Structure 1
């Protein structure tokens, strides 16, 4: 277990002062897309209705799929999802998923060594981006003098990873998998810095050309925001396919209330829902905050 990032570890992405734990996609073909997430991604259906399925692992919901007869297909430039990132606990489990994907003839869109993590990329049947990744141990990360973490995009040796896969049957994502982070398409990076850092209180952990990465607890990133396809694009509209909303969960109510106070200062409308709030972010993406 020396390489494991177990859910119980204090360094795990979900055990930080704030983390992303759920994503909600609007899709055109609900049965096909849900079946794909079950067979290819290894998620289990936790709740099902005529208009939506909630899927997860270990009894924890990670992804909700709903369908809307009025949904308009979002363009590649539309603000919204770049990818949902499913975090598996070990390199061994990443290799196990890769072998499953290869045997299932799943088309991959990329694979990278980010120094802090190793990641494999693909799209679901409706073009929503997905990352499957494992974190390196925190002591292997390199923090810079300004507090940011060193990240890069280097080639990942998929053949070597595949060769390390256990020769057993794949039975789905392990129960201690999680939604490690979410990567968004936005229209302006300074605006993203102001929203995620100054309003929501996340730390700016890394920059790429055209992208910023935010987190709490010195994690490499819980939220990525880029303008690679969407710079200057119009805001997302209601009833579009793709990312409807996602959830950021805070470890305590005080952090949540500080974020709410900042939202109120900026006159960003919020709706109270029990212990949490809902809002539409500056790019038209739904966001839920809870403690």
Structure 2
């Protein structure tokens, strides 16, 4: 748009003042000078007409077809999504092992289909998609969900994120069970929120209680939460979020395609294919 306006101004200036660029000897214009002057006028008219058409066409199309602007935006979004999915596809193919290495997993570890899930335990939309994914894993039998615990709400989700990653060091099944409990139960209350100075301590205590229910060694879990594996996995989660431009949760990569937001069961099944 800016360049179009600049070219339009240049065209107008050429039309009004272009004759001054032609050097004339004497009072009588030469044939060459006349031809050059006409060429300048022609070029300026072409520039002006082209710019006016470029500026006016979207307005005209929007007035005659109100859906034009929406269709244009949709086309641009589809192009951006295609480019993003290409980048995701190339990275996942080259780095699948590293992406999975320290992450908790639901379902068969050797499943045919892989879903990566960036989620936050204090995110209500994550709880919704968690339920949908649980149905998918149960119904299909050939799907695994790789949990990328993206702690974006600070102390509300730090302890749960670390605990589930650390739980994998004891048992992937127990890690999945702890993840399920954290998503289905409230591990902090509105009363807990009133005293922020003790909030982290209360959340830690509640998470450990749920870990014990899941059959985990709580003392070992607390040690592992501050260990190198958890630190490495959280860094991997953040690095991948930056690479894939993930700014919120939930966010899914199904196969080799990106899906931001809490998508429903049917859309997940469709994305998985056969």
Q: Smaller-chain TM-score range?
A: under 0.3
* Structure with more helix by fraction: 2
Higher relative CO (Cα under 8 Å, sequence separation at least 6) belongs to 1
Work out which of the two has the higher radius of gyration on C-alpha atoms and give 1 or 2: 2
TM-score normalised per structure 1:
0.20
* Structure with more strand by fraction: 1
TM-score normalised per structure 2:
0.21
